[in-house]
Amino acid sequence: MKKLINAPDAVVAESLEGFAAAHADIVVLGEERKFVRRKSLTPGKVALVSGGGSGHEPLHLGFVGHGMLDAACPGQVFTSPTPDQIAAAAAAVDTGAGCLFIVKNYEGDVMNFEMAAEMARGKVLTVFTDDDVAVETSTYSTGRRGVAGTLVVEKIVGAAAEAGAAHAELQALGKRVNGRTRTMGVALTSCTVPSAGKPTFAIGDDEIEMGVGIHGEPGRRRAKLESADALADTLVGAILDDLAPRPGTECLLFVNGFGGTPNLELYIMVRAAKRTLDGRGIKIARYLVDSLVTSLDMAGCSITLAAFDDELTRLWDAPVHTAALRWRG
Amino acid sequence: MKKLINAPDAVVAESLEGFAAAHADIVVLGEERKFVRRKSLTPGKVALVSGGGSGHEPLHLGFVGHGMLDAACPGQVFTSPTPDQIAAAAAAVDTGAGCLFIVKNYEGDVMNFEMAAEMARGKVLTVFTDDDVAVETSTYSTGRRGVAGTLVVEKIVGAAAEAGAAHAELQALGKRVNGRTRTMGVALTSCTVPSAGKPTFAIGDDEIEMGVGIHGEPGRRRAKLESADALADTLVGAILDDLAPRPGTECLLFVNGFGGTPNLELYIMVRAAKRTLDGRGIKIARYLVDSLVTSLDMAGCSITLAAFDDELTRLWDAPVHTAALRWRG
């Protein structure tokens, strides 16, 4: 294992310290590194809290800031944050209007966020994300996995919260966005969890894992490496089969690198996905291209499509200012 | 070789098409894909043009936009753009106030940008960047190499150009910024150039290349992998030996991933570099942490320090709106 680390068990703590130092204009690191929260809170705004295992950075801590999350709770690598962490984050950022939890659908996350919600006694609502069309159940999830589409939910609900939307309204919006968002990914290599010290799975020099999960979980099938055009066509095809948008639907196309894939390749996948979408009569209204929901050093990418309407487009376009996502609206 | 591509010789062209589609709000792809330029130009502003071999994305095309470059010329992977490309870019973005070329110090780039400057007949000034302290001459350069510090020159000179600075003034500023900026990098793995199909260099499972160049050129030495703290201490130490800032100097700390390194590790390097800088009495006034000057899929990172003064800090903070770098000022 070759990594820029000091010790496997210090990875998350030390990375959080570096993150908090580098983005001290936006975030504050909570006590005992339980969470990262916005430096300044907006009284009366519903507080958005997310989190999950580390190793997917910049998700979620890179999305804490104006127009997106109020706090993010990082667990150890690929390990859920504890209920105690989540409850502490909720208490730190709830200014009286309640909290909305945004939680990727993995058993550990669901359980721990639900326990934290109980500890907070009725002031919490939750949105679960399950945008991964690859498989119906998986290693760590009953039902579909929450993956890169979680970013879309966090951005859009974050914009609505900033604009003053009410607690239940934000939960309904989050469910609506999740329901209109689909993702599928492909891995070219495994990731290596620092504490394990070896690749999560073995894969041949000419093989891919089609439909891989963001922890390196199995997808639909092990297959031979194909061209970018063929891979994008498979991913977009699987998404469209499931999402079934009407021709003419305006979509967000989000091409997301898993951590070990250069931008040069991501944009080849953008071109390839656009070819398929153009052929299917789906309009790309917005693009997002970057490595934002990662799996440590895994090579590969996911494609996310979100079917936008005027409201969702407006909220997507609203200003955001976080460590990893910034635009002016 | 496992990459998300269609064919090795189509990599740059297809990636450019994806890039131009995804960022059509900011850039336009020039005829025959010779350059990427800003969608809207500011008449009377000195035009900033950069470029170089592809494979370092988002450098340079991701820095085209308000507050930074007017055009970027991408060569094939790790290959200089042609004089014809550069001259076409200059002609496309010069609104009458002249062009400033920002060129990394590699023999092919220097030669081709100089030929393009001659073709433009006296309307061009040039700034060469050579911020890499690792080696004095290298595989493709006489004198030091221009690496991640080029971003700092492009950002600061871009802000001054936006504010209306004159042609010669911008060249002097670019030289001043380059003179106050130093970088050194470390590689954990090689990169793989698509047309070569195999790693540029061989490296053992427990080895690093200390002082590596952004094309995988040799650095100072092949060594055993060390802790993040030790690696950062070596990089920062080499930079400070050369830059020799007075204690109390306010610096930009830019930790740059080479393409195959997760954010989680970059922030551990931030923490590690900060430890060394704190110990040396150097104040970190600004941070930048991301994979912005890459070497395809190489794992590793570089550290850049730029000694800021009030003027440079103000220009660094000025608004920028490009595909890869955005803030509001």
Summarize the confidence of residues B219-235 as an average pLDDT.
Answer: 98
Contact A205/B2, CB-based, under 8 Å? yes
- CB distance from B328 to chain A under 8 Å? yes
List, for residues A253-301, the tens digit of each pLDDT value: 999 999 999 999 999 999 999 999 999 999 999 999 999 999 999 999 9
What's the confidence (pLDDT) of residue B254?
A: 98
- CB distance from A193 to chain B under 8 Å? no
Residue A262 Cα, gap to closest chain B Cα (Å) = 5
What's the confidence (pLDDT) of residue A328?
A: 85
What's the confidence (pLDDT) of residue B106?
A: 97
Residue B78 Cα, gap to closest chain A Cα (Å) = 12
Q: Is A321 an active-site residue? A: no
- CB distance from B31 to chain A under 8 Å? no
Work out the burial of residue B283: count CB atoms within 10 Å of its CB; fewer than 13 is exposed, 13-18 middle, 19 or more buried: middle
- Return the sign of the alpha-carbon dihedral for residues A48, A49, A53, A54: positive
Q: Is B167 an active-site residue? A: no
List, for residues A119-144, the tens digit of each pLDDT value: 987 799 999 999 999 999 888 888 99
What's the confidence (pLDDT) of residue A277?
A: 97
Q: In the A/B pair of chains, how many CB contacts fall below 8 A?
A: 188
Contact B4/A327, CB-based, under 8 Å? no
- Chain B residues touching A65 at Cβ < 8 A: none
What's the confidence (pLDDT) of residue B81?
A: 98
Contact B229/A6, CB-based, under 8 Å? yes
- CB distance from A197 to chain B under 8 Å? no
Contact A262/B21, CB-based, under 8 Å? no
- Chain A residues touching B55 at Cβ < 8 A: 262, 264
Residue B247 has pLDDT above 90, yes or no: no
Q: How confident is the model at residue B65 (pLDDT cuts 50, 70, 90)?
A: very high
Structural contact between residues B257 and B266, judged by C-beta atoms closer than 8 angstroms: yes
What's the confidence (pLDDT) of residue B23?
A: 98
Contact B5/A294, CB-based, under 8 Å? no
Using DSSP, state whether A282 is helix, strand or coil: coil
For A148, A222, A224, B309, the CA distances from A187, given in Å and listed in that order, are 14, 10, 11, 45
Which of A23, A60, A66, A215 is labelled catalytic?
A: A215
List, for residues B176-216, the tens digit of each pLDDT value: 999 999 999 999 999 999 999 999 999 999 999 999 999 99
For A59, A85, B254, the CA distances from A317, given in Å and listed in that order, are 19, 31, 29
Contact B5/A300, CB-based, under 8 Å? no
- Among the ranges given (A32-41, B113-122, B181-190), the one the predictor scored with the smallest mean pLDDT: B113-122
What's the confidence (pLDDT) of residue B190?
A: 97
**Mutate which of A56, A215, A268 to disrupt the B interface (most B C-beta within 10 Å)?**
A268
Q: How confident is the model at residue A37 (pLDDT cuts 50, 70, 90)?
A: very high
- Chain B residues touching A267 at Cβ < 8 A: 14-19, 22, 57
CA A277 vs. chain centroid, Å, equals 23
**Which residues are CB-contacts of B263 (< 8 A; sequence separation ≥ 6)?**
A57, A58, A62, A259, A291, A294, B257, B289, B290
Q: How does the average pLDDT of chain B come out, rounded?
A: 97
Select the CATH number that applies to the domain covering B9-179 from these four: 3.30.465.10, 1.20.210.10, 3.40.50.10440, 3.40.47.10: 3.40.50.10440
What's the confidence (pLDDT) of residue A139?
A: 85
Structural contact between residues A326 and A66, judged by C-beta atoms closer than 8 angstroms: no
Structural contact between residues B119 and B83, judged by C-beta atoms closer than 8 angstroms: yes
Residue extents of the structural domains in chain A: 9-179, 181-327
Contact A227/B6, CB-based, under 8 Å? yes
Q: How confident is the model at residue B121 (pLDDT cuts 50, 70, 90)?
A: confident
CA distance B166 to B45: 8
Contact B267/A22, CB-based, under 8 Å? yes
Superfamily of the domain at B181-327: Dihydroxyacetone kinase; domain 2 (3.30.1180.20)
- Chain B residues touching A11 at Cβ < 8 A: 264, 268
- Chain A residues touching B22 at Cβ < 8 A: 267, 270, 287, 289
